[in-house]
A and B are shown apart, each in its own frame.
Chain A
Amino acid sequence: MLVCTGRLLHVARVLSCRARIKQFMSSVSGSGDDDLANAMGKRDTWENFYKTQSEQGTKQFDWFVGYEEMVDLVSPYLRKQRKPHKAHVVALDIGCGLSNVALQMCLSSNEPMRIVCADIVMTPLETMRQQYQSTRGVVRNSESHLLFTMADASQLPFRDGYFDVVLDKGTTDVIIRSSRGSDLAKTVVQESLRVLRGGGHLLQFSDEDPDIRLTLLNGVTRGVRATVTFKEISTSHGMEYFMYVVQKEN
């Protein structure tokens, strides 16, 4: 009897898992224009992606690496940024989606942090805003806060030099694949640099190989006062990721 129930539960779980996978797969690699594999650069693809995530009740989705893998890599750039007259370390996460990195950073920072989470689609921002509101009590520094806004990474609604750090996790990877591809990606980097203060850092997390990404970044920073470096990030599951760092000169 117990064995039977166990088996039924197992089957039910597998079926529901399969159903979810199937539903997602059809949005990821279906033959329509909006499938993720072939139309990653289109805004509609992401509207659908986040709609599906929302329907499934997914509260968090991080590309490549999550907070645990990133925190030690990113914190040196946050610490360095403190200016005496400024209370907060101010960071921008462009194309934040359902990443909870900004949330975790905000909650666990000893110093006051202000992080703006921006994306070109509204749905994930709403989910993240709800999550943020439900965790308000556990923030380590009461002056830290998160802001959510829709924004186009190629036309940021922020003034020059406002941010200490810009985070780009998987966003340029998407933009490169849009119809204006590299040109748009260059604009995004230029915008990120514009809104960074002198000495500020743009941190791009990607699975893109250095030979390719460095070509792009060096192309953008030619003639601009910025330096490009990168670090390899190894993970437990054998995939290779990289953190590309573009520092705006003082």
Chain B
Amino acid sequence: MSMFRTVTARLYAPTKPLIPRFSNGLRKYATQSQTDLKEILAAMIPVKQEEIKSFRSQHGASKIGDIQVDQLYGGMRGMKSMICETSVLDPEEGIRFRGLSIPECQKVLPTAQGGEEPLPEGLFWLLVTGEVPTQAQAEWLSRQWADRADLPSHVVTMLDNFPGNLHPMSQFSAAISALNSESMFAKKYAEGVHKSKYWEFAYEDSMDLIAKLPTVAAKIYRNLYRDGSSIGAIDPEKDWSANFTSMLGYEEPMFTELMRLYLTIHSDHEGGNVSAHTCHLVGSALSDPYLSFAAAMNGLAGPLHGLANQEVLVWLTKLQEDLGGEVSDEQLRDFIWNTLKGGQVVPGYGHAVLRKTDPRYTCQREFALKHLPDDPMFKLVSQLYKIVPGVLLEQGKAKNPWPNVDAHSGVLLQYYGCKEMQYYTVLFGVSRALGCLASYIWSRALGLPLERPKSMSTEGLKKLVGAQ
């Protein structure tokens, strides 16, 4: 399995050294014929525990960095402070899920029958095990999730009683918290189960929660935007994304393909971002996965974290209105020039982390080129992609002038009729569960303790550095 992946990775990235993946020692445990994720995990966990134990015994006291006063006031930016096994940001290639970049994932992860985009089930398998799943393993997850997707009636009642002006993210987070009536983790903890078994119930809750999220999200959508119409029944034959789009009320198969792609690429982005970190932090107190993930969603609802794709679409819509239809490259260039010169930003541009266009943007662009090349909003986004980096360079404002992932997602969604921009963050949240919960399972498996960093007062800091 790993050999296949190693060979494949070499085929597609021949000049780049392979980033070592932890699964190197685990090849013999994950067999292609096994589909039970829990059993596979049960075999992997002791091996990983041993690896970490050995590493810490040799290097536990090794220093890995310095801390400056500014970093305490600066949101701990750049401070190495936590463990996240599921994804690492590669400065050249973008996010790597267990070592695989997004283009690599698109090539090796299973797709739906007859589809081209990767199944998020496959990505979850990869995040949890470090192994690329077989088609059978991904489909096993689809069936598991279809099985576990129904909601307890009190959550349905709760959702149906929310007022129409309660933000979808608030509804989402509240429902997730309320779902913890189903938490096996909480129940078993209260019964005094041994901590070596925590991961098993973390696993069950995570699988349940991931399965239920589309149901919750679809209910919110229907209640807010489709007159409370019924989400219908879960189809045990459909994959996770297909059931989701059906429940949302979309028939178009390409929208389902888009959803598969979307839910895959937004799933994880290292451990320090607000949602991932929150889920980890709250989980470290042994709050069950539902409570931990609900907390993460509260973080995602913050304007600085999850609202960017909404902001981009709002700006694009206004731009379309201001321009009054299709404009020439020259006219758009002038408009952008003046916008940037005037001290405003172009949402989606200018906070690029990578030295080239984020692959999460590129794969969305490729989807659009394939399926909606003539959509007016996509054409505008395409034009912006052609023009904005050049203007940012020309004005000396950036040497990393590339767009980020949020510059594109709204455009694809609105094409298929999903124009409710306030709702986009909920979709992001559904995707992010894959990364957050994969990490949650492993945090319990590895017995990671309560997270409790040391805080300092300004007074204390001054004393520490000998300031007046």
Contact = CB atoms under 8 A, between A and B. Distances in A.
B398 A207 contact: yes
Contact of B345 (A208, A211, A239): A239
B397 interface: yes
Interface in B149-203: none
A118 to B, nearest CB: 19
B390 A64 contact: no
A211 B398 CA distance: 17
A28 B393 contact: yes
Contacts of B343: 236-238
A62 B396 contact: yes
Contact of A239 (B65, B66, B89, B398): B398
A29 B388 CA distance: 10
A24 interface: yes
B344 A238 contact: yes
A37 B389 contact: yes
B401 A37 contact: yes
B351 A21 contact: no
A24 B355 contact: no
B74 A232 contact: yes
B78 interface: yes
B78 A22 contact: no
Contact of A229 (B66, B330, B394): B66
B28 interface: no
A67 interface: no
A212 B353 contact: yes
Interface string B42-74: 000000000000000000000001101010001
Nearest to A228: B66
B400 interface: yes
Interface residues of B, number: 36
Contacts of A24: 394
Contacts of B396: 61-64
B436 interface: no
B330 to A, nearest CB: 6
**Residue of A62, A206, A209, A214 with highest tally of chain B CB at under 10 A:** A209
Contacts of A16: none
B367 interface: no
A170 B399 contact: yes
Given A62-B396, A215-B91, A239-B345, A227 B66 contact: yes
A25 B386 CA distance: 11
Given A212-B354, A237-B344, A28 B394 contact: yes
B351 A211 contact: no
Given A18-B334, A237-B343, A40 B353 contact: no
Given A207-B352, A236-B343, 6 more contacts: A18-B330, A64-B398, A64-B399, A174-B399, A211-B89, A239-B397
Interface of A: 14, 18, 21-22, 24-25, 28-29, 36-37, 40, 61-64, 170, 173-174, 176-177, 181, 206-212, 214-216, 218, 227-232, 236-240
The 6 A-B residue pairs whose C-beta atoms are closest, nearest first, are A29-B390, A210-B78, A173-B399, A237-B343, A212-B91, A238-B345
9 contacts: A21-B337, A25-B394, A28-B394, A29-B389, A40-B399, A181-B92, A207-B399, A211-B91, A238-B343
